[in-house]
Structure 1
Amino acid sequence: MKKIAIVTLSDFNNYGNRLQNYALERIITSQGYDVVSLVDFRPNLLKNSVKTIIKKDGIKFTDKMKKIRRLKKFLDFDKKYVNTFPVNAGEFNSISDDEYHCFIVGSDQVWNPDWAKYTYDRMFLRFCSPTKRISYAASFGVDKIPEKWVDKYKAGLIDFKALSVREDKAVDIVKNTIGITCHKVLDPTMLLERAEWDKIKKMPTKINGKNYILTYFLGGRTREVEKVIYRYAKLTDSAVINLQDYNTPYYTVGPDEFVGLISKAKMVLTDSFHATVFSIIYEKPFVVYDRQGSGKKMGSRLSSLLEMCGLNNRRASALDEKMLLQVNYTNARLAIQKEKVCSLKYLNEAIQSCGDSVG
């Protein structure tokens, strides 16, 4: 059985990252390959996390403990569902090409220049042969590569055997950088059917069947948005669950519980790509808000997703509140199915072509 390695971000703190990693492994494994995900060395991860408890940084001790409990949930999820193989960041060059049929980088913001200083060699697969380099749904997380990184990114992209990205802006970046029109494919989470996610989803015990609106904002919430959230809660006779609130038990939920909470929510309000993805998978009413703060530049992936599904009317700026709880998913289902066929075709052909010369 041919062995394939996935290389992706792995801070064990981001729901979308762990869920896309699981999904990509699941899809490739179902095609008859032996799959492993190369991730950061866990003892180092745990040691660094424990350091945050004793560090005097203004965060309350109880909140730091919640971060540790959340980390444990993420590690438990990986232990149960993802075939991870820990590697120290500086030791990727010791990985033998001969052991793997190919290496796949993706999905997520693996090519974000904000952290390329630390991840460039790994995320552009510079440690393996160009004939074994594949990207699947890679994201830059920005609309334009900073000038200081252009030459490095050109060198990194040109050597891939097969290139695919996750959003329209990323297609433009590749085209502008190396003159190639690459494939745009679905995020791995959208390659799995809802029934597959049902197998791993989990509900926190404190829900007890109550109605709730789920909120998940990575960039923070303005006062105006706060008012809207609680107006919607009153309108729908629902409680509000804020996944980013240290003061609730929901801050520590794991990736499987994240899926479960979205699947049963009355409505989802978010600025998160993957919270939107799972709202679409479970056909929930949702509202997408522009990201606040430093994450503003990450909006292109959400724009591509909403455009593809014909759901731009679920943006907060375009929402007709008379349709708050009514979403027509007919066109979204058709669009996702069409893109899924193309995405799987790309992935299969890319894997099968590995070992041949680049070009």
Structure 2
Amino acid sequence: MKKLLLLTWYENNNYGTSLQASSLSSIICNPQITGLISKSTEKFECDILRHHPERQEQKSKIGKIVKVFQPKNYLMKYSQIKDFCIKRAKQKSFEIRSLAFEEFTNRNLTFSSSVNAQTEVELRRVSEKYDIIMSGSDQVWNPEALDPTYLLQWVPVGKKKVSYGSSLSVTKIPEKYYDIYRKSLSSFDAISIRDVQCREQLSQIIKRDVYTVVDPVVLLGRSALLQRQKNIELGNKPYIFCYFLGNKVVHRKKAIEYAEQHGLEIKAVVNCGFDFKADKDLQKYAIWDVDPNQFIFCIQNAQFVFTDSFHATVISTLLHKDFVVFEKDNNRPTQNTRIKEFLTLAGLDERWEMSVDQLKSIDMGKWKAADERIDVARQKSFNYLMEALK
């Protein structure tokens, strides 16, 4: 049995992050759970590298000084202070959420060691017992938050290096990052990303074939997703489910307005991050003791889903739940790219920013067409993964 070391994000109490990490590691260990056709008979053990992501620091001291004195950074600091005060006020609720994630992580993920590997010496030492080193998925190659560790340049010569869905989450790669991608990715045995729009550009930069694959939660598929869901007490009345990560208050208000007009209750998982203040209108509907598998259950049993989250959109689609997805942030338009790309894949573009007055259920013919389109992409992605692991 071969051993694989997976480098991915798994922290921050983010539902999508946790679900993609557990999905990919589970598929590597047990490809049959996808229900897809595989010719491979190889078996793998998969451990996740215990590592704390570190954003690449600016090399220019002058650049750092200039950045500090930019007005938008003062506003950001002020916003963070306000959010910190809100978070302190809700500390007990956040601790309940953190405990739910901690228990999920302990049950569903296995790690390379009990302590973080941060330095190149530590990383090399950990890698010694593994046959394959894999980077992916999530936004581990995002140039706006790049930790070079995930580019695997530290991996000893002779070790197989592959990526699965290592997302850059940009439509265009900034030129200043060309060199680091070129140097780091040239020695990979197989490269795939989750992004459609920047795939060709990355391929030209590194002079290598780059494949596009679906997110691990998509690859997992409907059947396995349903098997993972975990019951949570939500009462017997029909409800809408709200999950927002962005900073737009108006989207929360639209969801509340829809629920009131249609006599539905509201269940909400509210943000634990710096944009928590945007969820003020949803606080009274918040449920806190929700782990990632219970998050699936919340969507599966909802009448309608209101979100700006990629993974909430994916899960809603796989489970045939009516949904509307809104723009996440004005100041980070690239954060919406992957959502739009997935909607296009599924043939559900009209669910993007759909007017609340025009909301209607998705008919079975539309769901069937979405399933067929997604399954084609799933099988292609699965074939890539199995070939990359040979």
TM > 0.5 fold call: yes
Corresponding residue number in structure 2 for 1:29: 29
Q: Partners of 1:292 and 1:160 in 2: how far apart?
A: 34
Please tell me whether the aligned partners of residues 112 and 126 of structure 2 are also in contact (alpha carbons under 8 angstroms). no
Moved more, 132-141 or 66-75: 66-75
Corresponding residue number in structure 1 for 2:255: 229
Q: Percent identity?
A: 29
Moved more, 241-250 or 71-80: 241-250
Which of the residues 289, 298, 309 maps onto 2:335? 298
How much has 1:172 moved relative to structure 2?
Answer: 3.1
Corresponding residue number in structure 2 for 1:342: 380
Corresponding residue number in structure 2 for 1:88: 117
Corresponding residue number in structure 1 for 2:72: none
Please tell me whether the aligned partners of residues 273 and 302 of structure 1 are also in contact (alpha carbons under 8 angstroms). yes
Which of the residues 240, 262, 268 maps onto 1:242? 268
Matched, 1:308 2:335: no
Letter in 1 for 2:48: S
Q: Partners of 1:82 and 1:174 in 2: how far apart?
A: 31
Where do 4+ consecutive residues of structure 1 move more than 4 Å? 245-249, 317-320, 324-327
Which of the residues 158, 167, 174 maps onto 1:139? 167
Please tell me whether the aligned partners of residues 8 and 107 of structure 1 are also in contact (alpha carbons under 8 angstroms). yes
Please tell me whether the aligned partners of residues 216 and 242 of structure 1 are also in contact (alpha carbons under 8 angstroms). yes
How much has 1:168 moved relative to structure 2?
Answer: 0.6
Please tell me whether the aligned partners of residues 136 and 165 of structure 2 are also in contact (alpha carbons under 8 angstroms). yes
User: Which structure 2 segments of 5+ residues have no match?
Assistant: 32-42, 53-81, 271-278
Moved more, 316-325 or 106-115: 316-325
Residues 191 and 33 (structure 1 numbering): CA distance in 2 closer, same or farther, change over 3 Å?
same
Question: TM-score, normalized by length of structure 2?
Answer: 0.79
Question: TM-score, normalized by length of structure 1?
Answer: 0.85
SS of residue paired to 1:141: coil
Please tell me whether the aligned partners of residues 163 and 193 of structure 2 are also in contact (alpha carbons under 8 angstroms). yes
Corresponding residue number in structure 2 for 1:187: 215
The Cα offsets for residues 99-153 of structure 1, whole Å up to 9 and x where unpaired, read as: 111011111001111221xx21x21112214651111011112222233322112
How much has 1:318 moved relative to structure 2?
Answer: 7.3
SS of residue paired to 1:137: coil
Q: Partners of 1:333 and 1:102 in 2: how far apart?
A: 32
How much has 1:60 moved relative to structure 2?
Answer: 4.8
Corresponding residue number in structure 2 for 1:7: 7
Q: Partners of 2:324 and 2:83 in 1: how far apart?
A: 37
SS of residue paired to 1:330: helix
Superposition pairs for residues 220-299 of structure 1, below 5 Å?
220-223=247-250, 225-244=251-270, 245=279, 247-299=284-336
The Cα offsets for residues 151-186 of structure 1, whole Å up to 9 and x where unpaired, read as: 112212222110011121231341242243411111
Residues 173 and 240 (structure 1 numbering): CA distance in 2 closer, same or farther, change over 3 Å?
farther
Q: Partners of 2:99 and 2:257 in 1: how far apart?
A: 35
Residues 160 and 324 (structure 1 numbering): CA distance in 2 closer, same or farther, change over 3 Å?
same
Aligned residues: 334
Corresponding residue number in structure 2 for 1:46: none
Letter in 2 for 1:89: Q
Please tell me whether the aligned partners of residues 218 and 272 of structure 1 are also in contact (alpha carbons under 8 angstroms). yes
RMSD of aligned alpha carbons:
2.4
SS of residue paired to 1:84: coil
Q: Partners of 1:231 and 1:249 in 2: how far apart?
A: 16
The Cα offsets for residues 248-303 of structure 1, whole Å up to 9 and x where unpaired, read as: 55144211111110111111111111000100111100111111244422122112
Corresponding residue number in structure 2 for 1:216: 243
The Cα offsets for residues 215-241 of structure 1, whole Å up to 9 and x where unpaired, read as: 111112333x34421232134321122
Corresponding residue number in structure 2 for 1:321: 358
Corresponding residue number in structure 1 for 2:74: none
Q: Partners of 1:34 and 1:252 in 2: how far apart?
A: 31
Letter in 2 for 1:2: K
Residues 236 and 129 (structure 1 numbering): CA distance in 2 closer, same or farther, change over 3 Å?
farther
SS of residue paired to 1:199: helix
Which of the residues 52, 74, 79 maps onto 2:101? 74
Moved more, 142-151 or 267-276: 142-151
Please tell me whether the aligned partners of residues 259 and 278 of structure 1 are also in contact (alpha carbons under 8 angstroms). yes
Q: Partners of 1:105 and 1:290 in 2: how far apart?
A: 28
Please tell me whether the aligned partners of residues 139 and 170 of structure 1 are also in contact (alpha carbons under 8 angstroms). no
How much has 1:304 moved relative to structure 2?
Answer: 1.3
Matched, 1:61 2:112: no
Superposition pairs for residues 117-128 of structure 1, below 5 Å?
119-120=147-148, 122-128=149-155
User: Which structure 1 segments of 5+ residues have no match?
Assistant: 42-54, 353-359
Q: Partners of 1:178 and 1:351 in 2: how far apart?
A: 21
Please tell me whether the aligned partners of residues 329 and 335 of structure 2 are also in contact (alpha carbons under 8 angstroms). no
SS of residue paired to 1:242: strand
Which of the residues 172, 176, 181 maps onto 2:200? 172
Moved more, 27-36 or 343-352: 27-36
The Cα offsets for residues 31-56 of structure 1, whole Å up to 9 and x where unpaired, read as: 42111111237xxxxxxxxxxxxx99
